[in-house]
Amino acid sequence: MQMLYNSENFAVVEFQVPAAPPQAGEEGPALTRGGYEIVDKFKRKEIYLEGALAESFKQGVEALIEGSPTVEDIDAYIERFTSLMQQPVVLH
C-alpha cells in the first residue's frame, strides 16, 4: 500500500498484490493484481479501481504528469471518477 496523492479534496492509494509463482504445468508469467483506492474527502465516498479501469486511470495520470500539472489539474482529473463512487468511507 502506497499513498500516491493527498490533497484537500482527494486521496489516492495504490495497492500492489504480488503475483503467485506459476504452478506446475502453467505457462507464461503469473498475473499481478492490485489497484487504486480513491477517496473523496468531502463526499466521504470511495472507489477501488482494478483491472482495465485501473490501467486507464494510471495511463491518464501518467499523461497528466508529463505536463507539470497543478493540484487543481490533478483534482479535476480524479473528479471524473467521483460519479462511480458508491462506497461510503467508514472508520473503525
pLDDT the model gives residue 5:
95
Q: In this predicted model, what pLDDT tens digit does every residue of 30-62 receive, in sequence order?
A: 556 789 999 999 999 999 999 899 999 999 999
CA distances from residue 19 to 23, 30, 31, 33, 54 in whole angstroms, order as listed:
11, 6, 6, 7, 17
pTM listed for this prediction: 0.79
pLDDT band at 1 (very low <50, low <70, confident <90, very high): confident
What are the boundaries of each domain within the chain? Answer: 2-16+32-88
